[in-house]
Amino acid sequence: MDNVIIIGSGPASYTAALYTARASLQPLMLEGEPSQEILPGGQLMTTTEIENFPGFPEGITGPDLMDLLRKQAGRFGTRFLYRTATGADFSSRPFVVHAGTDVMQAKSIIIATGAAARYLGLESERKYFNHGVSACATCDGALPRFRNKPLAVVGGGDTAMEEALFLAGFASKIHVVHRRDAFRASRFMANRVMKHEKIVVEWNSVVDEILGNDTDGVTGVRLTDVVTGKKREIAVTGCFMAIGHKPNSELFAGAIDTDKEGYILTKPNSTRTNVPGVFAAGDVQDRTYRQAVTAAGSGCMAALDCIRWLEAEGLI
């Protein structure tokens, strides 16, 4: 039986592993399988440029950052297993985690399975991902390819408004593409967007194609008017999807408390869930910030909460 099983991989997982390993808990991390939709290493494995993670003044690629975090956690005794958790039972102790036909038991669990951005599902969207297509303005908006260039933001909620306003600080012009004739966002945020001199709203429109080429990446988007069916193209160098995120928490449905969107609920000022001994960190419980550095920070918190709980229970 393991002291702690960490489910998931990414900044939160590797940081939790680092702290629990340094506490001599010999954590077992289930990183997932390379063939799965959720890559070992998390969303950052598909990120080519990271300029806002502390300690890298020249920037670093997502895969390189994940490799460094993994090596650091491994240095102190983390055991890594390229297996995807397929089931979990937290109804009694020891806790049980299934990975296919394998059954593992642990005194404690740290869940850090992350979240996935929602996309439109276009083939061209996949083609130009990280070459002008993004789902995080805070992560990518300040990159040179987007500065003083026209950009598109897809969505109509508060997240889309926040993304558009943030990008307006860097871009020459922002096209907010929304499929309806009114925003779902709060009135305050919607008014800020509609009054901004750099922002144009493309009402009753959907993006049906991302335009570009292999050299420049995204060069434009094609819009379809949902009322008239008319198509038109607008020139942009980036297209930011702001249509929501989906926490990777389906595995734990019924085993742990989540909100209506699937984000794992944690106690105030902690990473404790409703099940004593089970902790959650990173984007699977963070609907607000969703940054690599905040995920790493919550991984640290989860590890410390876990260590203190194990000590209090006399389990280590």
Whether the Cβ atoms of residue 31 and residue 7 lie closer than 8 Å to each other: no
Angle at 164 between CA 162 and CA 169, to 5 degrees: 100
- The catalytic position among 139, 239, 286, 305 is 139
- The catalytic position among 2, 136, 239, 305 is 136
Q: Which of 95, 91, 94, 97 is nearest to 32 (CA)?
A: 97
- CB burial of residue 77 (10 Å; 0-12, 13-18, 19+): middle
- The catalytic position among 2, 64, 89, 140 is 140
Helix (H) or strand (E) holding 68: helix 62-75
Is 239 a catalytic site residue?
no
**Within 10 Å of residue 304's Cβ, how many Cβ atoms?**
17
Is 139 a catalytic site residue?
yes
The values of phi and psi at residue 111, to 5°, are -95, 125
**Within 10 Å of residue 62's Cβ, how many Cβ atoms?**
23
Is 286 a catalytic site residue?
no
Q: Which residues are catalytic?
A: 136, 139-140
